[in-house]
Structure 1
């Protein structure tokens, strides 16, 4: 085959992670028996999920074990000449000792680092878990990457390589804490400019990686977050714009997780409302094709926005928002269900918005609240909120039933649901 000619190999489906759809580098199996790439499933679990993404089964344990058999099969396949040419990283042509010297040299002269040097480190880290752990444990590795990100006038491709390297080692022990500690040094605040450049002009995968790193930075405590408040707020318009214009589910989930971490202050929530985030979330929830993880994050974000008056006004003014939340209640996990009920309770009972009451009531809200009550078992807080909602929505349901079907319609409804006790 001529040099530079590309090979296109069909990847066995069992080698692909069900979440990222990429060839798994470190396959691990959950208690349900489904195997995922370790970095993908760890991010899923870190986001608060307690189910298997592929089967939606509740997890008895969040522990996972390496799937060594599948790992050997993937390695055998990836080292074949055709597969390793196109679908899996080639073995790095550099030793760990040379990587150590390279990182040390960049640490001494960060402005002299070039694309070639950085790509060598990225290829080394991409190859296997052991390599990523080696780089993460190097004393100056995180500082070196951040120093590259604060250099002026870098091409977006170079910045993408730095972010990819940071994302590759993000889950290694101690890396998150080191990034958080370093990012709050005044000179490292310039990293935000690089993240913005990637979010505006980078590749899709780089946008996801940058968003994950932004979420990490945002997840620190409030007192430290305030020191970079202006930098964080500058990312909000770009993130919301991406939600408005992009459709990739991985990017949507990453952005929503990031916005949830950012929404710790009233000013951030108000700014997100002013950026018209509520109609975007309403559209996402109204789409029947929206995946459950995305819907759950959208509900949580709406719940956070409903804690400020501006957010409640925007939710009330969007004719489909509350109804979309109502329709998703039985299709999401328990935590999102609780947040959705709390949002509806806040709008219909706590603040008594007549517009939202009418919309939810006309969409069979009484029956749906009764079903949620039944599914929540002993959760008294959720059951009480559902009971309050049933009370305020019942009048609307009766009026709607009488005008559309006569009194018999509501009588039939109540006959089917009287066994569910509000409290």
Structure 2
């Protein structure tokens, strides 16, 4: 595909600022700018210490996967035409006006397929469509009418996910869904419950993108059926990595109050996360998000209680230490420290010790992760777990420490 064709077909946000090609693995620098992994890695390996787009000197050369953008690129790619996208089909301003009137008059099925085809043709088509101020209002209105036709709802979600990244769309959708007395959430829930996997992912992605402030996050999380249906998806669709990643990204975003965290714990989220931590098939990104969610919900009493009584959670966290990114390892240490040291949960202490916890925590402590607060938390964990062993508590962890890792001593 030539460069000119690419510029027409691919949204600018999806193109790497260095190569100008569609990003396959988007990662973000500390400056907040996202690049394709191979391009920025080559830039850094060449001896540069600046951000190519801003020319800021980098305080850190680490980069993190931009998982939300990766999902959006995958969604866009799955809908992009397989043939040369050269030019969108000719659609006049008058034709779009007809579509809007048909949508408003309840005849959306007459034009829906044409709209879906049009937004799938490329960036030019999407920009043309969203330039009509009342198009978004009309399409969101379909979600607000208690429509029970899942095909229609799926197609509307597809359109919204396709145009989501166009200038100003997220902000307009936020106002329409959360400020204009809209009642769209039942339609989102219907798609999550009854739609196909592809549209469930798109649905979660759209919801996360438009919950842009604390008020909207509390509104979504407080709606009776949103959190239950999302947790149920994690329990029943645990082999679908993209869906799991999308759901957990959303849960991380909305878990801003104690009541939300408590409800997630009461819905059985800890059990679903524990299974993901133990799964050999789970993607690293899914495991890391699981640890992030656990670090969030362990800040409430119900969350700690759920972790305490879960038969595999504490051991699964220990098992993942040093097998994930630095940030995720820190999240794991936070959970273990909160359970074992801050709140002195004896069940958690025993499970961590029996999972060779002392040796694993020592390894973290002596790695580059074990700095600052993480180092102090690791030191506290070793003291508590060692004391528990001396008092007849966790056997397995301390036996392993004394017989296999006596050469590793805390500083």
Query: What is the TM-score when the length of structure 1 is the normalising length?
Result: 0.75
2:15 paired with 1:28:
yes
In the other structure, the counterpart of 2:132 is 138
User: Among residues 160, 172, 185, which one is paired with 1:192 in the alignment?
Assistant: 185
Cα–Cα, structure 1 residues 97 and 25, in superposed 2: closer, same or farther, change >3 Å? same
In the other structure, the counterpart of 2:214 is 221
Greater relative CO (CA pairs within 8 A, separation 6+): 2
* Structure 1 position 172, deviation (Å): 2.1
Q: Which runs of 5+ in 1 are unaligned?
A: 1-11, 13-23, 65-74
2:228 paired with 1:237:
yes
Q: Give the 3-state SS of the residue equivalent to 1:112 in structure 2.
A: coil
Q: Give the 3-state SS of the residue equivalent to 2:213 in structure 1.
A: coil
2:286 paired with 1:294:
yes
2:135 paired with 1:105:
no
* Structure 1 position 385, deviation (Å): 0.8
* Alpha-carbon distance between aligned partners in 2 of 1:270 and 1:372, rounded to the nearest angstrom: 30
User: Among residues 253, 274, 289, which one is paired with 2:266 in the alignment?
Assistant: 274
Q: Give the 3-state SS of the residue equivalent to 1:180 in structure 2.
A: helix
In the other structure, the counterpart of 1:169 is 163
* Structure 1 position 56, deviation (Å): 13
**1:262-315: CA deviation from partner (whole Å, max 9, x where unpaired):** 222222222222211111110111112211111111111111111111111110
User: Among residues 196, 200, 223, which one is paired with 1:203 in the alignment?
Assistant: 196
* Alpha-carbon distance between aligned partners in 1 of 2:244 and 2:33, rounded to the nearest angstrom: 16
In the other structure, the counterpart of 1:3 is none
Check conservation: 1:50, 1:59, Cα contact below 8 A: no
* Alpha-carbon distance between aligned partners in 2 of 1:282 and 1:225, rounded to the nearest angstrom: 25
Cα–Cα, structure 1 residues 389 and 401, in superposed 2: closer, same or farther, change >3 Å? closer
Check conservation: 1:125, 1:165, Cα contact below 8 A: yes
In the other structure, the counterpart of 1:15 is none
CA RMSD of aligned residues (A): 3.9
Residues matched between the structures, number: 370
Alignment of 1:113-124 (within 5 A): 113-124=107-118
2:359 paired with 1:372:
no
* Structure 1 position 381, deviation (Å): 1.0
Check conservation: 1:402, 1:409, Cα contact below 8 A: no
In the other structure, the counterpart of 1:16 is none
* Alpha-carbon distance between aligned partners in 1 of 2:400 and 2:304, rounded to the nearest angstrom: 35
Q: Which runs of 5+ in 2 are unaligned?
A: 2-8, 42-59, 67-76
**1:378-413: CA deviation from partner (whole Å, max 9, x where unpaired):** 730111111111111224567899978998971652
* Alpha-carbon distance between aligned partners in 2 of 1:234 and 1:395, rounded to the nearest angstrom: 45
* Alpha-carbon distance between aligned partners in 2 of 1:49 and 1:337, rounded to the nearest angstrom: 24
User: Among residues 160, 163, 176, which one is paired with 2:154 in the alignment?
Assistant: 160
* Structure 1 position 374, deviation (Å): 2.6
Check conservation: 1:219, 1:261, Cα contact below 8 A: no
* Structure 1 position 219, deviation (Å): 4.2
Check conservation: 1:402, 1:410, Cα contact below 8 A: no
